[in-house]
A and B are shown apart, each in its own frame.
Chain A
Amino acid sequence: MKYLLTILATAFLGVIYAQPKGVLSEKKMVPIPAGIYDPFFIKTSPVPIKVAAFKLDESAVTNLEYLEFVKANPQWRRSKVNRLFADSNYLRHWESDVSIGINNKDIYNSPVVHVSWFAAQAYAKWKNKRLPTVQEWERAGIAPPKDSKIKSVVDYIAKWYSIPSPKVLPNIKSTYENTYGLHDMHGLIWEWTFNFNSFIGTGDSRGNTEDEIKAFCAGGSINVKDKSDYAGYLRFSYRVSLKGNFCIANLGFRCAKDN
């Protein structure tokens, strides 16, 4: 009898410990209805752009989620990645190629950062998704917080921009949820978009291109839609400063999908 109990007990424990622990549940996607995206810079796009309905991940891709991708796609491991597609800061916050590190437990569910556009793009493809366009991202991000205590999103964002990045990046869903049901659109990280290299006008503008003239000559600020939206201006400036292989400490992504 004792032996039978032992066998039963060991079998029971065996079942418990044989459960795969690493399988993550599919990230929830939130439907964003069709609508108009009113471009930030009026002159570059004279007509408001129609954005079709689409779906967007409710939160940014986490380190744990990204680890699954890296395991399945060895060419995206830190030691193997092509520098053309990811600079030397790629996943520098991880312990090794396929380990975030037990000392980094706090960031398992934080957004993955230090990832390039090419890496984000490859992840999205692997998930049968895609990166959102700037237009889609801005349209989704403009929705107000569910929490009516946050009076001004612009002030909220400006406050976030004004403080240095925390040493340990907080987990997803640690800032506000907007009325679409999207978490952390502002206040946690910056996010890659499919066409981040869209906006014309570089810091080194010499008016060589038609659109640099449109965007900047005679004072760019005159053409800005809402002069009080300083945060929006910063986002556009930030995007234009990026290159596809940049890997940055506060830049991650979330995926989109057609409806």
Chain B
Amino acid sequence: MKSFLYTLFICSILISCGSNEKKSAFEGEVMNEHPTAPVGTIPDQSIYMLTDSFQTQNNEKIILKQFAGKPTVIGMIFTHCDYACPRLTADIKNINKVLNAEEGKVNYVLISFDTERDTPDVLKKYADNLRLGNDYTLLHGSEEAVRTLSILLNVQFQKDAEGNFSHSNIISVLDKEGLLVSQKEGLEANHDLSIASLKGMLK
């Protein structure tokens, strides 16, 4: 009888251990936490939380966070585009012109949808042809990085069978920390609000 009770006792302990184990496997807390790396002073909602790397027209590796510290104007294009993109780029150049800020105060960033054809060299030629100055950065990235950025910036795009892209035309303004300040959709749209917010940030 004594040993029977003993067995029962041991069994009950084991059963409770067993069910604990089940709990930890399915439901409980796990021990091996990997705390996420600190991201400096970048706020959670910043577009700069995207950590994928891109390549500039000068073949330099860059992450978006490196644009922090200045307000940034962003557009997404592809250089083989003969309809909307030249006009979108022209709109960004126009913002630059109207803003009339000193060189080095604002980032102008153009990101290509065309991860295959728009290599850094092709982007370099495009920048030279359009006489885009030192404040302009043209970015080439992986398909995943470009798609993720498009989702964060609410830009829709789709590649067709000929390798061209249908896309929405949106110019976004980010503040110095990468928070989305304003967005304007459409070609030759009125960018007064974007320009006003940029002016505010430059004061």
User: Residues of A at under 8 Å CB distance from B?
Assistant: 2-3, 6, 9-10, 13-14, 16-18, 20-23, 44-50, 64, 67, 71-75, 80, 82-85, 98-102, 108, 117-118, 121, 194-195, 197-200, 202, 206, 208-212, 214, 240, 243-244
- Bound: A197/B196 CA distance, A: 30
Identify which of A3, A9, A99 contacts B27 (C-beta below 8 A). Answer: A99
Q: What would 27 A/B residue contacts be, using CB atoms closer than 8 Å?
A: A6-B7, A10-B7, A13-B18, A17-B14, A18-B18, A22-B25, A46-B160, A49-B161, A67-B26, A74-B33, A74-B34, A84-B45, A98-B29, A101-B27, A108-B26, A117-B151, A121-B144, A121-B148, A194-B147, A197-B147, A198-B156, A200-B157, A202-B168, A208-B186, A209-B167, A243-B151, A244-B152
Is there contact, CB below 8 Å, between B26 and A10? Answer: no
Q: Which residues of B contact A10 (CB under 8 A)?
A: 7, 10-11, 14
Given A3-B3, A9-B7, A74-B36, 11 more pairs with CB closer than 8 A: A6-B6, A9-B11, A13-B18, A16-B18, A17-B14, A17-B18, A17-B19, A45-B160, A72-B30, A82-B49, A102-B27
B189 within 8 A of A: yes
- Bound: A214/B158 CA distance, A: 13
Is there contact, CB below 8 Å, between A50 and B151? Answer: no
Identify which of A49, A98, A210 contacts B166 (C-beta below 8 A). Answer: A210
Is there contact, CB below 8 Å, between B44 and A84? Answer: yes
Nearest neighbor of A130 in chain B, beta-carbon distance: B144
Q: Give residues 154-170 of B contacting A (CB, 8 Å).
A: 154-158, 160-162, 166-169
- Give the shortest distance, in Å, between A2 (CB) and chain B (any CB): 5
- Bound: A46/B158 CA distance, A: 13
- Bound: A99/B32 CA distance, A: 16
Most B-side CB within 10 Å, residue of A21, A102, A194:
A21
Is there contact, CB below 8 Å, between A211 and B167? Answer: yes
B15 within 8 A of A: yes
Identify which of A6, A121, A194, A209 contacts B169 (C-beta below 8 A). Answer: A209
- Bound: A153/B152 CA distance, A: 35
User: Residues of B at under 8 Å CB distance from A?
Assistant: 3, 6-7, 10-11, 14-15, 17-19, 21-22, 24-30, 32-36, 44-46, 49, 83-84, 144, 147-148, 150-152, 154-158, 160-162, 166-169, 185-187, 189
Nearest neighbor of B24 in chain A, beta-carbon distance: A22
Is there contact, CB below 8 Å, between A47 and B162? Answer: yes
- Bound: A123/B137 CA distance, A: 32
- Give the shortest distance, in Å, between B33 (CB) and chain A (any CB): 5
| Residues A98 and B152 in contact in the complex (CB < 8 Å), given A9-B7, A13-B14 | no
Q: Which residues of A contact B161 (CB under 8 A)?
A: 45-50
Q: Which residues of A contact B19 (CB under 8 A)?
A: 17
Most B-side CB within 10 Å, residue of A48, A100, A200:
A200
Is there contact, CB below 8 Å, between B44 and A82? Answer: yes
Nearest neighbor of B2 in chain A, beta-carbon distance: A2
Is there contact, CB below 8 Å, between A13 and B11? Answer: yes
| Residues A206 and B186 in contact in the complex (CB < 8 Å), given A20-B21, A83-B44, A84-B152 | yes
Q: Which residues of A contact B84 (CB under 8 A)?
A: 209-210
Q: Which residues of A contact B49 (CB under 8 A)?
A: 82, 84-85
Is there contact, CB below 8 Å, between B26 and A64? Answer: yes
Nearest neighbor of B26 in chain A, beta-carbon distance: A22
- Bound: A44/B156 CA distance, A: 13
Q: Which residues of A contact B187 (CB under 8 A)?
A: 208-209
- Bound: A14/B15 CA distance, A: 8
Q: Which residues of B contact A64 (CB under 8 A)?
A: 26
Nearest neighbor of A108 in chain B, beta-carbon distance: B26
- Bound: A72/B25 CA distance, A: 12
Is there contact, CB below 8 Å, between B22 and A22? Answer: yes
Most A-side CB within 10 Å, residue of B19, B28, B156, B186:
B156
Q: Which residues of B contact A75 (CB under 8 A)?
A: 36
